[in-house]
Each structure stands twice: as structure tokens, then as C-alpha cells.
Structure 1
Amino acid sequence: MPAVLATAALLLTAGCSSGDGGPPDGAGSAASPSRTTGQSSPSGRATGETPPAKGSAKVVRTVATGLDSPWGLAPLPDGDLLVSSRDEGTITQVDTGTGRKTELGEVPGVSPAGEGGLLGLALSPDYASDHMVYAYFTSASDNRVVRMLYDEDKPSGEQLGAPDTIFKGIPKGVIHNGGRIAFGPDRMLYVGTGESGDTGLSQDRESLGGKILRLTPEGEPAPGNPFAGSPVHSYGHRNVQGLAWDSRQRLFASEFGQETWDELNAIKPGDNYGWPEAEGRSDDSGFHDPVAQWSTDEASPSGIAYAKGSIWMAGLRGQRLWRIPLEGTRAAAAPQAFLEGEYGRLRTVVPAGGDRLWLVTSNTDGRGAPKDGDDRILEVRVR
């Protein structure tokens, strides 16, 4: 079976590759930080990335308004953005200077229902030459990853080529469809999946549900994966919603809890993150504890991004942007909340370069209270 793909070269902050084809050395655990290369301070943190104890986040401007159920976001090399509509199954280009929206086309085969539909987006690591856009979506039978040629020279509405399915068979459900995809610093595709409401799938390493998958751009299990011949990178997840790498190529992921704890995790290849046996921190040494945890009414996390020495995490039910300053793969200080209740549900956050983030609201997804102009993309300045 061809393997799964993952979202967004836009989440990358480190551009180098691991030399042996395996996952980046820095994808370490909180309990035992992995070996890394490059200059670092005695604390193990890369020189110059020490986050302040207290940060800030301020909306600089509204980039675009009137988006319908936006979910995935992918920055283009020219500075514009591609955004997916979960319920419409379309991809739209947003001019970040003027806010002008141009629909590129509808992705065939998308079957939106509940939390499923057209979800994560990512650009090929060779986008400059191949113009390939990757997408994760719910079909009538499963969740899958496809890639499509984006031809800017064709008329509006016809710029997306036919989807080429590179990975399929991920369990689907009304809930917990995962959906975040991202290309890592190793140029492999990472895919966050959910257990589709069937909790037993998370601990089953033969299942694709409740996992982070690591694939080649063609959808095969990536070289160096922890379980031979398998796309599984980590397991024991409930519903992975965010993927991001820090400046030392360590992978972090956000995850929905059930009724008690939402999580931010530092991902180590082959580790078990506990669901459904554990939610949040656990006394069982066989499970990898989260970097930070929140009550579900404070977070219900979705996308994450790395900037200014911290992970920034969008909250849906929590309606706020969380900052988690990092000390290696640990939280350097207590998480801080910003924009609480100001823009409603927050779905996706992506680095925009330097001290800026792109932040996408999610008030038209059936669970929010839309205001005039929703949904929108915001530019946020952080420190």
C-alpha cells in the first residue's frame, strides 16, 4: 500500500536534511533529549533562541475575510497563501497584500461530514520545480493524501490538476479525522491522523488511526522509520491536529484530549503517547508524557507553529492563542494565553517569517458563532 503524506513546508523553520534518510536527530523526547548538531548553549538550547519568560502576541492586520470553513494553510514562495475549505472542498489563493481571494478549483472526491472534509495542505519540498500541492481529505470511504499540480497560467477555477492519490486507507469517522500534514526538515511528509472515534486503533501499530505517519513524497514508508516497512512514526494518539519543528529539527504535535487534558507533545520516533490508556501526564513509564497540558475548555488545540523560541498553538474551544516557551523539549515557563475570545475559534497558525504568524479563525465550522467578516486570516506579531 502506498504510504501517507504530510502538510506544510510552511511550518518549517529549519531547512537542512538528516544525512542518513532517517528522521531528524532532534526529534527527541522530553525525558532524554536526542543528539543534535550545531552550536548550542550549556542548557542544550541552540544559541540565540532563548525565549523571554513573558511574550506577547498582537494582531497587526486582517489579511482576508469571508472564508468558508477554512482549515489548511500553505504559504506560496511569492508570499501569497493557499487555504482549504473543509466543507466546500475548494482551495483558494489569498493575496496577502490586498486580501483578494481567487478560487483555484474544487478537489474531486472530497466527502465533507462532521469533522471531515478537505483538511491539511502542504507544498512539495521541490515546489519551485514541480508546483505540487499536497492535500489531506476525507473521501466517501477513508481519509487520504493526494497531490495536485498547481498551474498558475490556467484560468481561475481550473488551476488544480487531477489529484494523484499517494496514500489512502486512513480510518474516517464523524469525529477525529486528524488531517494536518507537513514536510519536515528531512523532506519527508508527516501526517497526523485521528482514531476516528474507535479508541482501540491508537494502540494498534497495524492501524493507521491515532498515529503520526512519516512518508516519502511518493507516499511510501520513509527510510529510517522506527517499525520496519511501516509508515508509523509514533502512536497512542487520539487526534493529532498540529505539527511543527523547532530550530533544532525537533518535532512537536498538538492533540485533542477527551474530557480532561489536551496536549502538546515532543515527538520521538517509535514512542507511545498513551491514548486511550492515558490522557495527559501518566505514572506509566511506557507512555511519553506531554510537554504541556490544558483542560479541554482552555484549548481544544488545532494548528501549531514555531517562532521566537516558542511553540504557538491555536485553540478552538479555548478561543485563544497559546505560547509555550521551550527549553529543549521542555516548557521553559508556564504557557501564556493571548487573544482570548477576541476572534472566536482559532484553527491554524503558520510562520510568516521573523516575528510574524498567519492565524486562521474557525467560526463557520458549525461549532462557532460567526461574526460579520468570518472567517478570516490575521497577521500576528509575536515575541
Structure 2
Amino acid sequence: MDESSLRVLVPRVLAVLVRRGADFAAAEDAVQDALVEALRTWPDTPPRDPAGWLVTVAWRRFLDATRSADARRRREELLEAEPQPGTTSAVDDSLQLYFLCAHPSLSPSSAVALTLRAVGGLTTRQIARAYLVPEATMAQRISRAKRAVAGARFDAPGDVATVLRVLYLVFNEGYSGDVDLAAEAIRLTRQLASVVDHPEVAGLLALMLLHHARRPARTAADGSLVPLAEQDRQRWDTGLIAEGVTILQTALSRDRLGQYQTQAAIAALHADAPTAAETDWVQIVQWYDELLRLTDSPVVRLNRAVALGEADGPRAGLAELAALDPGLPRYTAVAAHLHERDGDTARAARLYAEAAAQAHDAAERDHLTRQAARLNSR
């Protein structure tokens, strides 16, 4: 069994230890020790029941780590009363661990880090590299998150919406370092979809697949960003698109529309267009109307202004934009795009330069700077 297959077992093993009465932080440490031991010994003598082996070893490591007589007696009682690993529900274990890592007491960044560590099975070093922060910084963040959920129990239904928000945050981090967070988010969402029959879980998975399908075409050979309208659609992954559309259609057929299904429907319309010119912008605007009804988000209104500018002309988009807060992220870049389409290239060049100065991402800043230079060169 390779490392990636081993990581799939982490949620179940960790949840068993917590349900037995182990403190979350101590249980997580014990599971990590068991994983290291598995990687060391399994290539020579793989067990018949990998999950049971990990539970046994992790539980022993936990018992060895705490020596007080009262605690030992309590744990021995729990151990005697606990069913064997094979009799527990892997579905319940995995699901409860998702809920625990998305606990409302955690900040979004802490929930993401704890999910990657406890559910994803990534090491602290891998997570730190993915987020481009020192390992010590990430270790502190994860330790604080563990302490925050230490007293949480598996005795109440979790909030699926919170779990989905955490997975969506993981996906949006994309790729950096030696861990592909977009691919990791898809793996975790697939796992969640296998244990939760909910159309919004399916909607998020479809959304991730449809966006991920365009990834090969998003950057040029020199690493610069390629806007959607200019991407080589032959480089899109048609297999992922087909899978995403199928999952989305099944979710939509249940008539329980949510924001992730709606976003996935917009992504599917982009993926379905053979060329940028053939994009069904009218239907995209209609889906944005649905998304606004569900979320009333200023960012959605900004994206709707772009879509309206494509469907009804740039002046319609600018009129929509005028009603929004100029302080919104990407507001200036959207204004530049719409003014360029309206023929006001001088104003568009100035706005592209302003947007570049506001950008936090280096690739986006370089792209906007090139847009300004392109118009100024005319």
C-alpha cells in the first residue's frame, strides 16, 4: 500500500481513537506515529486489515504516551468496552471527522490546516510548503486548532455547509510547493461525496472538476496567466468536464438548488462552448441571478456585471458596475475590461495599471500590467 492509499485510512483511524475517549491532539499524534511505523514495516509484511492494524498501533502509542494511573484505568475500561475496528462504521467515522475539523470555533485558515492534517493525512511540512509559510508557523496553527476542538464530542450532527466551505477554500489555494491542493481538495470532496448523499456536496465536486479541467490551459509556457477567452480549449481535460457535467445533472435533477450547483452550472456553460464567442452568456446571466437569490454576494454581483457586459454589451455591464462598491476585489480590473470593450482604451489602460497596483498575486499583477502596456502601446 502506497502513501496516498494509506492517507485514505487516516480519518477512520483517528475517529476511532477520539470515540474511545482520546484527546484529539494526542490521538492525532498517535495516528501519525502509526503511519510512520506502517510506512516502515508494511513493504515487508503488509497486514490483512490495514485499518485495524493502524487502530491497534495508534491506540497503543496513545496509551504509552499517557501514564497517570487514573487515566490508564479509564482507558483500559474504554478499551475493553470498545468493539473491534472492523465492527465500526467507516462512513460515520469519516463524516464526523470532517465535521470536527470544520468546527465553528476555528478560523477558516485553521480549519483548512486541520482538515489537511487530520482528514487528508498530510504532514505539517507538506501543508507549510503548500501555503508557503515556515513549518513552525504551520505547526503552531495546527496545534491551536487541535486545542480548540479538544473538548468537541461526536454527539451532534455536523454542518455540511461549513465542511463544504472549508473544502472550497482548500481548492481555491490551487498549487504551490510539493502538494497540489486543488487535487487534494478534489480527493477529499470525492471521499465526502461517497458518504454524504447531498446535492450540494455533488455540486461542489462538479464545480471543482469543471474548473480543474481548464487548468492545463490557464498558464502560458513562461508562467503568465491566460484569460479564459484566450485559452486553447484543446488543452482542456474533456474527461473531467464530462464527469463534472454528469455529476451536476444528477444533482440538479433533485431540485434542491444550492450555491455550489449554481456555480457549477456556470462553469459547465463555459466548458460547453467550443469557442469563447459561442459562450451562452444570456444563460450565464440567468444562473448568476439564481446565485444572487441564494447568496446576495457583492462578488457575485461583480461577476454578473461581467456576464451582463458580454450578453447585452459593455455599457450594460458598466451600468451594473456603477451600483457596486469600488472597493470590491477585482472591481478596477472589471471596469478596465468593460471600458476596453466599450472602446475607451485610454481609460481602460489607466484602470489596468491601477488594478495591477492593487493586485496581491504576482501572476495577476503581471497580467494586468501587460494589459495596460498593450493598450498604451497603441
TM-score, normalised via structure 2 length: 0.25
Higher helix share: 2
Higher strand share: 1
Q: Which structure has the higher relative contact order (CA within 8 Å, separation 6+)?
A: 1
Which structure would you say has the larger Rg?
Answer: 2
